[in-house]
Amino acid sequence: MTEEEIKALIHQELPTILQQDRDLRDFVLRTVENYYAGKQETESRFDRILAELSRDREEQSRKWEEQNRKWEEQSRKWEENNQQIQQIMLEIKKLNSKHDSTIGALGARWGLYSESSFRNALKGILEDSFAVEVLHLTEYDSAGEVFGRPEQVELDLLIKNGLLIICEIKSSISKADIYTFERKVRFYQNRHQQTANRKIVISPMVHPRAQEIASELEVEVYSYAEELRIEN
């Protein structure tokens, strides 16, 4: 019988023989025990692997929980800081609004007072030194020719030897102010059937675009009081 035939016979008959012959089975197990781990050792190794996996999983879970606590703590601090920042911004906004309102009110009051003071000074200088009559005129525009609705219209008139100058004194002059002044002049001329010899606006602050419009409408603009001259 050849070696191959013996191997084939062992493969074929050995399982049955091992089941039936306990001594032979023990002999075979003792013979191969150095090559393969036994059931007990295999189970022990498997248990160790499971235990290690369990410890690793517990360690990972602990680390994740710790990291989550850190993230939650950081998120809470961010939220508290954000609320504090929002509160601070709200307080700053309130202060800015208060300061803007106060400054705006002071600016408006300063503008009105400075216009009135300059008008009174101009009236005193021209009337006392140059025999010029200065009139501050207020008339009611019932047709809304100037402002597009019925409204009071204020003008300053300078009169000398039949010369009529219609004047506007303002703390600042914009392009819209020039257009409004030109409508005031036309309103006065139509109502009183008089033609102004000169149209003048006086202001320390004149927008560049306002100066361009004034030139187109033949309105003289003076940014400083000393520029104004009344011919004898």
Tell whether 53 is covered by a domain. Answer: no
State the pLDDT confidence band at 124, using cuts at 50, 70 and 90: low
pLDDT at residue 118 in the model: 62
Tell whether 16 is covered by a domain. Answer: yes
Mean pLDDT of 142-161: 90
Tell whether 42 is covered by a domain. Answer: no
DSSP state of 230: -
Tell whether 197 is covered by a domain. Answer: yes
pLDDT higher than threshold 50 for residue 144: yes
- Is the CB of residue 155 less than 8 Å from the CB of residue 140? no
CATH label of the domain that carries residue 193: 3.40.1350.10
- Is the CB of residue 179 less than 8 Å from the CB of residue 190? no
Tokens describing residue 154: 């204020």
pLDDT at residue 107 in the model: 44
pLDDT at residue 199 in the model: 93
Domain span including residue 159: 131-227
Identify which has the larger pLDDT, 61 or 7: 61
End-to-end CA distance of the chain: 154
Q: What is the dihedral of CA 108, 114, 119, 121, to 10 degrees?
A: 170
**Of 153, 155, 129, 81, nearest in space to 228 by CA:** 129
pLDDT higher than threshold 80 for residue 163: yes
pLDDT at residue 36 in the model: 58
Residues 6+ apart with CB under 8 A from 216: none
pLDDT at residue 100 in the model: 57
Mean pLDDT of 75-98: 78
The length of the chain, given as a count of residues: 232
Tell whether 114 is covered by a domain. Answer: no
3-state helix vs strand vs coil in the chain, percent to 5: 65, 15, 20
The segment with the largest mean pLDDT, out of 28-37, 100-109, 144-153, 161-170, is 144-153
Tokens describing residue 4: 């191959």
Beta strands in the chain (DSSP E): 133-141, 151-160, 163-169, 198-202, 220-222
Tell whether 137 is covered by a domain. Answer: yes
Mean pLDDT of 50-78: 84
Give the chain's mean pLDDT. 78
Report the b/e string of 104-117 with b at 16+ CB within 10 A. eeeeeeeeeeebee
Tally of domains within the chain: 2
DSSP-assigned beta bridge partners for residue 157: 135, 166
Tell whether 203 is covered by a domain. Answer: yes
**Of 180, 184, 178, 229, nearest in space to 201 by CA:** 178
Tell whether 90 is covered by a domain. Answer: no
pLDDT at residue 20 in the model: 80
Question: Which residue is associated with the tokens 């300053």?
Answer: 156
- Is the CB of residue 196 less than 8 Å from the CB of residue 165? yes
Report the b/e string of 123-137 with b at 16+ CB within 10 A. beebeeeeebebeee
Lowest mean pLDDT among 136-150, 155-169, 179-193: 155-169
- Is the CB of residue 126 less than 8 Å from the CB of residue 230? yes
**Using CA of residue 44, residue 48, residue 50, residue 54, what is the dihedral sign?**
positive
pLDDT higher than threshold 90 for residue 123: no
